[in-house]
Every structure is written in structure tokens, then in C-alpha cells.
Chain A
Amino acid sequence: MSFAANFPLFCIVFCLICSVVSSLLNGKVARIITLLLSIVVMIMSIFVMLMVHLNGEPITYIMGHFPHPWGNEIRMGLLEPFFASIFSLILFLSLLGGERHLSSDLDVKKSQFYYVMTDLILSSFLVLLYTNDIFTGYVFIEICTLTSCGLLMIRQVGRTTLASIRYMIFSLIGSGLFLMGVIVLYGITGHLLFPNLHEAIAKLNVSGEYKIPLLTSISLITVGLSIKSGLFPFHFWMPDTYGYATPSSSGILSGLVSKVYILYLLKIIFNVFGTNVFYNSGIQHILFWFGVCAMIIGSIDALKENNINRMLANSSAAQIGYIYMSIGISPTLGVVAAIYHIVTHAFTKPLLFITSSRLCDAANGSKIFHDLQGKARKYPLTGALFTIGAFSMIGIPLTMGFISKYIIATSAINTEGMIVIPLIALALSTILNTIYFGRTLIRIYTPSDSETCMIKPKVSYLVSTIVLALINILTGIFSTPLISIIQQRLEFFGKVG
């Protein structure tokens, strides 16, 4: 095993050390440390990805020289470092893009704590992606909840405090159910490590013992994690949470935090239950139907909103629906589509939140559509970037969003008995998307005489949004390699190594 096998552990430990050190420094230095940290994590993850690619199979890294079933392990397939690099890149770009708002929203004396939270949240992303132990996953799920609550309430308006307490309540319900599921699973198998659990569950499945506890545990874990990622009908905290947070936080929360729970759920489905057991249990139908409802109801809610950030937040609820519907379709094509859509949404939503915050700046900070009229004409570049994001969410060709909708549709067509409903839901949701994003675009491009405050854009803002938009378009045009990579890597995800 080469030296690079230590990198995931190094990344996690670096994040934890940086978060402790940042709390002692002043805000500016802490900011630089966090930005550097996310770049370092991204580079290291790319190294890990190359190493696993050369190695040809997943690598299991044993912590503290205790072999399984006693010790704790880190597992590196190809998807884990791939997502680690993408997530750290998006974290970096979101922090860069929202710089102006961060400096105005944060209390100068306390601004270093924001970066403590971002370091910790990056570490929890990494652990949730890499860990091979279900209880470690639980602990870091809670750390992720607490830190995302911190990211939210750092902007001290009454509404954000209220939003964070509602967010906490729903998250805690989710993690309570998840913990119960883990305990039931531990009770029937006696293991906590993924490979041992997988073996024990396969044996139980053959012998038919403990059928009901196994089903209970599968459903508790699935429901718990889907509540945490904001699947319908538990998406009511989303508009408040994403709508009133500072733009960087909105980008991180909607683009990354809700996605990492879905990825962890996929990891559990593939590595613990096995696709056979999971897709025979019937739980995927529940995910499928709630996903369909989320797609339509989230879009209708977005249509009703009068506030641009709350509209984007409701659109997030709909996108989560797309992902869960694809997971419900099939374990092969459907999950590939789901993973592609996770990437799409993770790149698009931060772009939309950051560019919309600049449009709101032009309207003196107002987020109401009426005040935003004509702002894209005053800020042509921001308008264009927002348009790219909106097109990607609608699914116009040449953007990532088109490809992800296209593969969701093909996965539905190629799966028996799943053709009609996903296609109808996709069509309905796309029409609704077009209506509310079209309305927004028309509004911001309609000429208006109202006053506009012209603020010079910061270089960091320009860099981050342009990079996000470029990635969006490039992956939209050259999508075939990415899809084949995901397909090929998914096999690695499932292989128990």
C-alpha cells in the first residue's frame, strides 16, 4: 500500500486541527486557512482517486492496527475520493463567492468561528464519505447537523435563529430514527463494520431469520437519512433555512449537506444491505413515491414564493425529489442518474444562491421579485451567470441539468414497470421549473427605472461564479466521460473489499 493510502485520514485530521487552531486566530487568517485547507483536501483526494484507479480495486485502511471485526476502518473506492474532491472544491468556491456578504453578516470579533464550522463540516463530509463503520457515521452525522446549524445561525437575524431551531428539530428526528435503526441492526448482527454487517445480513437473508427486525432497521435507517436530507414531507424547514442564511451558507447547506446524507445512504445500501436485500424490501417504492411528490409539490411551492431565495430553496426540495425518485427506479441505471443529479445540483445551487445575492445587492438587499426588476440589465455578467444556473435547473441542453434529466428519463425507460410515472413526473416538474425560473428571468431582464446601487464586484466573486458556470457548461457538453466514470465507479462502490 502506497503512502497515498494515508491521505483520507490526513485530510480528516487536518480539518479537525485547522478547526481548533482557527478558533484562536482572527477571522482573516482563519479564512485563508480554510480556503487553503479545502484546496489541500481537493488535491489529496485527487491523488487518492488516482491511486485507487491504478490499484484496480478498493483499498481498506485499518486504523490503529486492529483488524476487523474489532477496529475502525476507512474505505477508499473511486466514488468516495471523487466526491471528496468535488465537495471541497464547491466549499472553496462558495466561501470565495459569498465573501462580501460574509464580511457584512459576520460579527468581526466572532468571524473566526464561522471558519471553525466550515472546517468541521468539511471533516464530517470526509468521514461520511470514507468511513467503513456505521456508528462513526452516526457521530459525524450529528457533528454535521451541529455545524450546519452553526453556519446558519451565524447571521444573527431573528428569522435565522428560528430557522436553525426548526432545522435542528427535523435533523434530530432523522438522526434519532437512524440511531434506532443502527441499534436494531447491531442487535441482530452483532457488528458495526460494513463488510461484517454485509456478510451477516446476507446470511440472515438466506436463512430467513429476524426478517421483521431486519426490515425495521432498513426502513428506520432509510427514513432517518431521507428526513435529514429534506425529502418530502419533511422539507418544510428548507425555505427558511436556505432563504435567510448568508449566501455562502445557503450554497453549502443546499449543495453539500443534504447531498452527503444521500451519499451515505447509498453507501449503506450498497455496502451494508446489498442492493438485493434493499430492493427486495420494498422500501425503494416509498422513496420513489415521496420523490415524485417532492418533485411536484416542491415546484408548486417555488411557484408561490415571492422571495427569490425562498424560491431557490423550494426548488432544492424538488431536486432532492429527483434524486430519491431515481434511487427508487433501479439499483443500476437509476442510482447512476441519482449520483449524476447530485453532482449537477451541487454545482448549480451554490451558483444560483451566490449570483442571486448579488442581484439582491443591486436592489438594496431586497429579495422581493418586484424590487429585482431590471437588475440583470445593470449587472449583465451576473445576469448571464444566473441564467446559466437557471437553465441548468430547468434542463436546457448544453447544461448539466439537461444531461441529468436525460439519464433519469433513460433509466426510467429501461426499467420494466417504471416507465409512465417517472416520465409524467419529470415532464410536470420541468414545466413548473420553466414557469418559475422563466418568470424570474423575465423579471430580472425587464427594464425598470428604479434606483440601482452599483457595487463593484469582488474578484473572488467573479472567479468563483465563473468557475462554477464553466464547470456546469463543460460537463453539460462533455458528459459522456463523466457518466461512464460514475457507472464504472459504482461497481467499485458496491464491491466489498
Chain B
Amino acid sequence: MLQSLWNNRVMVVAVILFAVGFTTLLLHRNLIKKIIGLNIMDTAAYLLLTSIGYIDKNKAPIIVDGVTDPSVYVNPLPAGLVLTGIVVSVSVTAVLLALTIRLYQRYHTLDLDEIYMIARNETEKKEDKK
């Protein structure tokens, strides 16, 4: 059991990081920490993907000295997937940060629960006036 945990230590770390990020994104009240949680979660996924894709002692898939035997090289596809994933998570983070700035300008707090309470009170007041 312990031996297999040690052998798959990168995956174990990836799963723990994923759980940390996931719970922060889901449960934390502070918007900035939520975004940090999102990034930890995505990074954990990329760590898992890279660790699956990397074969120890194999070289990067660039042909040097005319060696075309594929068993010498690492499959480049996982790295490509990680790059695509990073692009996606950067754009998502940018949109989330922009939304956070807009919310902060309007409600002057980063606490999502507080913002929700203020917004609900505002709507109720409007409805009462009518």
C-alpha cells in the first residue's frame, strides 16, 4: 500500500492539490481566494497529465543524430494538451478577475456572501417601492 503510494507520489500530490483547489473554489467566500483555488485546481490537473505523459530518461521528441526509434523519445501530445489547458485557464482567470473588479467597484467588498446579501436587499427595496 505505502509502496504503491510512493511509486505514484506525483499522482497522489496532484489529487491532493486538486481537492484543495476544488474546495477553495467551491466553499471559500473571498473572490480572490476562489480564483486562486481555481488555478490550483487546474495546475493539479496539468501536473497529473504531465506526470502520466513523461517517461523517465527519455528525451524530448526532437530528432538528433538521426535516431528515429520512438522508444527513445517522450510522447509530445500530453505537453501539447497541457499548453492548450494553460491557455484556457489563463483566459478564464482573466474573465473572473475582470468580473471581480466590477463587483468590487459596485459593492466595495470581496466577500461573495456579503455581496449577495447587499444585492438581495437592493432588489427587495426596489420591489417594495413599487
Contact = CB atoms under 8 A, between A and B. Distances in A.
A145 B89 CA distance: 12
Contact of B115 (A162, A168, A192, A371): A162
Contacts of B106: 158, 161
B88 A161 contact: no
Contacts of B130: 366, 368, 371
A180 B42 CA distance: 9
Interface residues of A, number: 32
Interface centre among A173, A176, A371 (most CB of B within 10 A): A176
Given A139-B84, A158-B119, A368-B130, A176 B41 contact: yes
A187 interface: yes
B88 A169 contact: no
B52 A165 contact: no
A162 B127 contact: no
B31 A165 contact: yes
Contacts of A176: 18, 21-22, 25, 38, 41-42, 45
Interface in A148-166: 149, 153, 158-159, 161-162, 164-166
A contacts with B: majority SS: helix
A142 B49 CA distance: 18
Interface residues of B, number: 38
A146 interface: yes
A145 B116 CA distance: 22
Contact of B49 (A159, A161, A183): A183
B103 A183 contact: no
Contact of A164 (B41, B99, B107, B127): B99
A135 interface: yes
Contacts, number: 87
A164 B115 CA distance: 13
B117 to A, nearest CB: 11
Contacts of A179: 42, 45, 85
B13 interface: no
Interface in A362-387: 366, 368, 371
A200 to B, nearest CB: 15
Interface string B76-93: 011001001100100110
Given A135-B84, A139-B84, A169-B34, A180 B18 contact: yes
Contacts of B9: none
Nearest to A187: B52
15 contacts: A138-B85, A142-B88, A142-B92, A158-B106, A165-B31, A165-B100, A168-B95, A173-B26, A176-B22, A179-B42, A180-B18, A183-B48, A186-B49, A366-B130, A371-B130
Given A146-B95, A158-B106, 18 more contacts: A138-B85, A139-B88, A142-B88, A145-B92, A164-B99, A165-B99, A165-B100, A168-B95, A173-B22, A173-B25, A176-B21, A176-B22, A180-B18, A183-B45, A183-B49, A192-B77, A368-B127, A371-B130
